[in-house]
Structure 1
Amino acid sequence: MAFPLLKLPSLAYEEVLLNFNVPDLVDFSLLSSRCHRIIRSTRFPLTGIEVCVGGFDSDCLMFCNNSPRPIAVWEFTKERWRKVSDTENGWRRIGRTRIRIQKEPDWRSTKIQTKNMKVAFDYVRDLFRLPVTGYSLSDKEQQMYPQYFGITKCEEMYIWVHHEIPIDELKYILEKMEISKKLTLYLKENNDFECDFVQFSMDKLIIKRAFWITRETFLAMDCARITLQGNKDLPIRDFVSQWLLSKNTRFEWLKMTGSMRWNGEDINWNDGFEPMKWNPAIRGRNFKISHFQRVDCENGIDFLRDDGILATVVKAELGLIYFIVWHKRFQSEADDLQLDSW
């Protein structure tokens, strides 16, 4: 005998639905317009959706709920993982699009993954009213960039590819999107890319092959942690001076490849600054830059801002330059970490 779910009071069937997994909730919403309205009006413990293109040889939508791992993953592949019946039981209709769905052992859809993934993304984002918390594009030549999905804001974005990205797609990411937490960008084949000005404002910014970063963009960065690799000559002295004259309490550290002009004559830290040598009584020697790595600041140049915040400029090996702020002046936990490098 079938369970009369929809004949229960609304509070009762909502409690039942809260115990459904995400694939079954999507299935339920496709049964009728009433079922769709019920799912859309129910608050589920989902915090966002992530779009992953090219990861682990498949594309997927990941559903998050503040836990370290996604609560559900909907994969889109060209090939079937195992034989699936060709009967109507293996198909769902979203609008005018028929999508084959395999729910066991994993939630997957096969064939025409580019179109199907976009249709599924639009449907579940509206169904659960979810923000886009992440987008990642790995080394896979597919034309599924953020603009294709209509993503205008997200918390984290990761783009690491070995093929050239169309200029209009890059401009959309850099000029039209709002990224709040972390941006990782590696452009291996965009050798002629130019961009006059970009306003970066997120917690963490990582750019590999940052040759296109201009002076204006560099000095306007409003990020807590900045990593630039392969950058052109950028005015580290102006960056330090700008911080000293500000009331910025968000900034933590900058790491970048060295300026060709870095030497005792071209960067005169005594001109307009009040540099200090390391005093072990004022700050520690090692700065924790990640969970596994530290920066040795023994030979760094210290600067004390008017509000009492201490910062250090360090020229390290391999042409690295660090500008770090000591929000915690003594970091004994950093002493046993390995030395930071690229």
Structure 2
Amino acid sequence: MSQPEDSSRQPPYPENQIESNDHSEALDDSSSDTTSEEIQHSPEGCLNWRVMPPDDLLDLTMCSNDLKQKVRTLVLGITRITFNDGQLAICVSNRDFDNDETRIDLEIVQQESLPSKLTRITSYLRSRIWRKFVLRKINGMDYEVEKVNHNDYGIDLTFDGFNYRVVNFRKEFIIYTHDTTTAHENVLRHVFFVFANPTPLFYLDLRGIQSENFDVPTKLVGLYDQCRQCTCLAIGVRKNEFVEQAHKTLEMMTELKNLNIDISLTETEFFSPRMCQIDHLNVVYHKNAISEKNMLSLNCETIKLWSVTITATALNLFIKKWLKSTKKRFRYLEIPIIYLDPDDSDQNEIMKDLNVKKFDDLQRAVFYKRYDWSYELNCTGQCRYINCRNGLDITRSDGALATIVSSTSFFYFFVWHERFPEQPKDHVPFCDY
């Protein structure tokens, strides 16, 4: 068994040595799929590998060590990595990070043996698709792999004058193994070696990591600069054993700016100092609490807390903290679903000692225009208009204006960096707060 490759190693083949006339190297005998046969029997096949999409290139690299080395010299980069309930999705830039990426799905299944022939026949009668299994070498280890084609459609996105396309016609590789943790590590080592562009990831989503593989994130972030320098992270902290790993992961990601956390713990509050200076913070609490101290330590541009338990006093002090400040960084705090602590749930406490005023159309517009942050694409997402006609305004000593919109079930605190932004053309009254 060969040793795992070091993903930091430089490509071994100079550019002028790749177009070799020697195409005699055969792929694995067990590689019976069409792509491998074409490479084996077609002289043109080895010359055409340069123009293949990343999912086909990944398949080739699992068939031939020679092509594994050659594909590495294309310096295609991984743009996003997403874990979702045992499935690993890797998005790869098609050519030179040209705003065009291909998604590759890899599902790692714990199974001692492949499905029986009877099971495969039954599956075929139901779906009319014959399940095909091939032997592939991933990071030097042999795995049984099933390939599936998905006929999805592409999505065109436009942002700030640039056109982006997410290519959703994709291949899925189902990898069968008796050791999923080792398989995850081998797959990640393989793809980072093959797609060796050092550009940091746009987005890393670790929310789908399973309990048996909870240490995979720290190993992933610890091994690769592309992950450590990623600026946008989504992570789940759903069990106590994930807490330590989550802290380690956050500490290692030194360039982190945008953070999406899903917290579902019992009797434990999760909070990391890294959350304090994040640009865009989104936390799903599932009724978990945030303490007054931690709430006041947040110094983010935008804060969105879902289903959080919090005290009325903490909200009051957060507003007063903004009033005493002269910084212009903060934009808004949103709590779409709020649970006030039963021991401190008086709505009047939120407005205590605050000089608030009713809406004045000479001071600001009716609708607050705000942009959701798209974590998956790590850029500004769609804009929303919030009706603040019934909100209460408060003015800071430097003239900055903010609006408080609250009830027993939600709380919003908006700062008007632009007092008269563009207003919506179509207004739906029943959406007013």
The two structures have a TM-score, normalised by structure 2, of: 0.61
Unaligned runs of 5+ in 2: 1-16, 22-44, 116-122, 124-129, 150-170, 223-227, 373-381
Whether 1:107 and 2:177 are equivalent positions in the alignment is: no
Q: Give the structure 2 partner of residue 181 of structure 1.
A: 258
Percentage identity across paired residues of the two chains:
18
| Aligned length, in residue pairs | 319
Superposed counterparts of 1:206-285, under 5 Å: 206-209=283-286, 211-228=288-305, 229-233=307-311, 235-256=314-335, 257=338, 258=340, 260-263=345-348, 267-270=352-355, 275-285=356-366
Q: Give the alignment partner of residue 203 of structure 1, picking from 272, 277, 280.
A: 280
Letter of the 2:213 counterpart: Q
State the partner residue of 1:321.
411
1:302 counterpart residue number? 393
Report deviation, 1:50.
0.8
Unaligned runs of 5+ in 1: none
The amino acid that maps onto 2:281 is K
Letter in 2 for 1:180: K
Name the SS of the counterpart of 1:149 in structure 2.
Answer: helix
Please give the per-residue CA displacement for 1:111-148, whole angstroms capped at 9, x wherever unaligned. Answer: 12443232111221233235342214249654245225
- Any conservation in 2 of the 1:205–1:223 contact (CA below 8 Å)? no
Query: 8 Å contact 2:263–2:284 — kept in the other structure?
Result: yes
How far residue 251 of structure 1 moved from its aligned partner, in angstroms, is: 2.3
Question: Structure 2 CA distance, aligned partners of 1:134 and 1:238?
Answer: 34
Of 278-287 and 308-317, the range deviating more from structure 2:
308-317
Match of 1:134 among 192, 201, 204: 204
Distance 1:230 1:169 in 2: 22
Q: Which of 19, 34, 39 is residue 6 of structure 1 equivalent to?
A: 19
- What amino acid is aligned across from residue 329 of structure 1 in structure 2? R
* SS of residue matched to 1:101: strand
Greater RCO structure (CA 8 Å; 6+ sep)? 2
> TM-score normalized by structure 1?
0.75
* 2:166 counterpart of 1:118: no
Structure 1 residue runs of 4+, over 6 Å off? Answer: 66-69
Deviation at 1:161, TM superposition (A): 7.8
Aligned to 2:141: 97
Letter of the structure 2 residue corresponding to residue 53 of structure 1: N
AA at the equivalent of 2:135:
W
Relative to structure 1, the CA distance from residue 194 to residue 247 in structure 2 (aligned partners, 3 Å threshold; closer, same or farther) is same
| Correspondence for 2:247 among 171, 192, 198 | 171
1:183 Cα deviation from its structure 2 partner: 0.8
- The one-letter amino acid paired with 2:393 is D
Q: CA deviation at 1:166?
A: 3.4
2:310 aligned counterpart, secondary structure: coil
